[in-house]
Amino acid sequence: MDLHLTLDRAAGRLAGQLAEGLRDAVRDGRLTPGVRLPPTRDLAADLGVSRGVVVTAYEQLVAEGFIVSRQGDGTRVATCPAAGPAAGPRGEAHRRALRLAAGTDAGPADPPGIAYDLRPGKPDLASFPRDRWAANLREVLRELPHTALNYPDPAGVPELRAELAGHLARVRAAAPEPGGIVVTAGVAQMLATVPRILIEEGHRVLAVEDPLGHHQIPMLGATGIELAGVPVDEEGIDVAALARTPARAVLVTPAHQYPTGVVLSPRRRSALIEWARDVDALIIEDDYDGEFRYDRDPVGCLRGLAPDRVLLAGSVSKALSPALRLGWAVAPPWLAVRLRAARALHDLGSSVLDQHVLARMIGSGEYARHLRVMRRRYRARRDAFVAALRERLPQVRVHGVSAGLHAYAELPGTCDETAVVAQAAALGVAVEGVAPMRVGRPGPPAIVVGYARLSERRLAEAVDLLAAAVRAV
């Protein structure tokens, strides 16, 4: 296959040039839908560029929906790439945009034909405390001085930052320092911002757990940083492998690794912090599911152990609702200042009314009470779900159910994961395969199953259908 790709080295931005060349090839029909692209290593050798250039270009095109990458199946041109007529002034050059957004959603609300939505990453939306939110907003609007309705502090309103400091110290031992808390529009915004700051600081590579949340891959890739996948085993991220990468920054989910559900072991925690001190590195701790713990001892956050090395990021997306787009970062002072500046230069901060409502709910104890209620509810669902899996799918190994809102279900080694996901969908059950969550390294087939949003009865029905899907495959 000769793709006729030419790169202008003097012009820089090689990955961007390569992506553009591949887009052109798709548009011209030199690359047809379904055709397999060369492995990154081979294409890099052909073009005389580093493999990272090709990986970055491929990631960008995956984000845009031009190509599809599947474990065991290589990278292929998408079957409906950049469809639709160009409507803009720049015609051809913009067709690619027409599919860009579709590939980067956090997930549609309700896929058609799906009766049991077990996709992970979303809480029980029916439990959102609607009355309390409305009542607190009424109080906020009764009490707030007019000046609070001006442009906000881009780092967040002081009331919320103070309440978050108390809350995160109490429940997560997060060592929040005054001035170290920045309100964010959610963990996503933090993921889109911190790599850009790292690049300004001379970083080129960010290490990530492999596998990781597949929505995070295009989001991190769009910042221009190169991702180095580091394997995760039963103790969590492999710190020795991390040390062999050129990365001096790492994104981890120690409380409940996403998607495997592993808790970072005490030994690994120490090793990770030691690595950070040795090589002057930053640890980005996504406190994913940190609030929901069922039958294991509490595990503090990494940040509490090394506040000078760790940025802790969290949000209300699992505790309340992802529709609020509200979160926080607890950062070393230098980074908190940079995060605030990034918001000052980007969006001037989060909705002030939502911030004040959350501050009131934390301050009054309502937020902690809501978490306790949800923990009990989720635990009951987890118990029902795991019992049903053990009974109906004994051949599946279930991991990571001592905390969080999802289970990592390892399929028998011979089982085709993609076929199971497709078969389950055909039966009305939405789950996710782990393959799109891998950065590079292959691994055993598995599905990721969120149990948070269905009642115990409906979970048992869904597991029946899942078992039928596995049998059919």
Q: Is 7 in the site for its own copies (CB under 8 A)?
A: no
Residue with smaller CB distance to its own copies, 119 or 438: 119
Q: Please work out the total of residues on this chain that contact its own copies, with binding judged by CB under 8 A.
A: 83
Residue with tokens 């993609």: 418
118 vs 460: CA distance, rounded Å: 12
Residue 374 C-beta: closest distance to its own copies, Å: 14
Task: Tell me the C-alpha distance between 305 and 270, whole Å.
Answer: 9
Specify which residues 76 forms β-bridges with. Answer: 36, 68
Binder to its own copies among 222, 243, 380, 425 (CB under 8 A)? Answer: 222
Nearer Cβ to its own copies (377/399) = 377
- Judged by CB under 8 A, the stretch of 31-39, 133-141, 406-414, 433-441 that binds its own copies is 133-141
Contact residues for 327 (Cβ-Cβ < 8 A; gap 6+): 183, 184, 185, 186, 187, 189, 190, 313, 314, 315, 316, 317
User: Which listed residue (22, 55, 302, 324) binds its own copies by CB under 8 A?
Assistant: 324
3-class SS letters over 53-78: HHHHHHHHHHHHCCEEEECCCEEEEC
Residue 143: burial class (beta carbons within 10 Å; 0-12, 13-18, 19+)? exposed
Cis previous bond, 158, omega within 30: no
76 touching its own copies, by CB under 8 A: no
Q: How far apart are CA 91 and CA 343, in angstroms?
A: 33
Q: State in angstroms the smallest separation of the CB of 141 from its own copies.
A: 4
Q: Which stretch binds its own copies (CB under 8 A): 44-52, 130-138, 204-212, 259-267?
A: 130-138
What are the structure tokens assigned to 59, written together? 């990631």
The piece of 21-29, 42-50, 184-192, 224-232 that touches its own copies (CB under 8 A) is: 184-192
Taking the C-alpha atoms of residue 462 and residue 454, their distance in angstroms, rounded to an integer, is 9
Question: With binding defined as CB under 8 A, does residue 21 bind its own copies?
Answer: no
Q: Which is nearer to its own copies, 221 or 445 (CB)?
A: 221
Site string for its own copies, 152-171 (x = CB under 8 A): xxxx----------------
Among 214, 269, 309, 438, binds its own copies (CB under 8 A): 309
Q: Contacts by 27-31 with C-beta closer than 8 Å and gap 24+?
A: 27/82, 27/92, 27/95, 30/3, 30/4, 31/3, 31/77
Residues in the chain: 473
Comparing CB distances to its own copies, the nearer of 98 and 252 is: 98
120 makes contact with its own copies (CB under 8 A): no
Select 331 or 388, whichever has its Cβ closest to its own copies. 331
Shortest Cβ 292–its own copies spacing (Å) = 18
In angstroms, the Cα distances linking 73 to 65, 69, 70, 320 are 17, 7, 5, 38
- Interface residue with its own copies among 4, 9, 142, 457 (CB under 8 A) is 142
Q: What φ, ψ does residue 405 adopt, rounded to 5°?
A: -120, 10
Q: Does 98 engage in binding with its own copies (CB under 8 A)?
A: yes
Token pair listed for 398: 């279930």
Q: What angle do CA 402, 403, 405 make, to 5 degrees?
A: 120
> Does residue 283 interact with its own copies by CB under 8 A?
no
Least Å distance, CB 357 to its own copies, is 9
CA pseudo-torsion sign 427, 432, 434, 440: positive
Q: Distance between CA 282 and CA 277 in Å, rounded?
A: 9
192 binds its own copies (CB under 8 A): yes
> Does residue 26 interact with its own copies by CB under 8 A?
no
Q: State both tokens at 29.
A: 């029909």
Binding-site member from 14, 25, 44, 63 for its own copies (CB under 8 A): 63
Binding of residue 303 to its own copies (CB under 8 A): no
- Stretch of 73-81, 87-95, 374-382, 438-446 contacting its own copies, by CB under 8 A: 87-95
Q: For the sheet with 406-410, list strands across it.
A: 397-399, 406-410, 446-450, 432-433
Q: Nearer Cβ to its own copies, position 23 or 293? A: 23
Q: Is the dihedral of CA 439, 441, 442, 444 positive or negative?
A: negative
- Region near its own copies per CB under 8 A, out of 44-52, 71-79, 106-114, 441-449: 106-114
Instruction: Output the smallest distance, CB 210 to its own copies, in A.
Output: 21
Give the position of tokens 């669902």: 381
Q: Which of residues 325-384 bind its own copies (CB under 8 A)?
A: 325-326, 332-335, 337-338, 340-341, 344-354
- DSSP string across 155-180: T--HHHHHHHHHHHHHHH---PPTT-
Q: Within 450-469, which residues bind its own copies (CB under 8 A)?
A: none
Interaction between residue 8 and its own copies (CB under 8 A)? no
Stretch that binds its own copies, among 49-57, 289-297, 316-324, 419-427 (CB under 8 A): 316-324
Site string (399-418) toward its own copies, x via CB under 8 A: --------------------
Stretch that binds its own copies, among 24-32, 85-93, 377-385, 395-403 (CB under 8 A): 85-93
Q: Which is nearer to its own copies, 55 or 197 (CB)?
A: 197
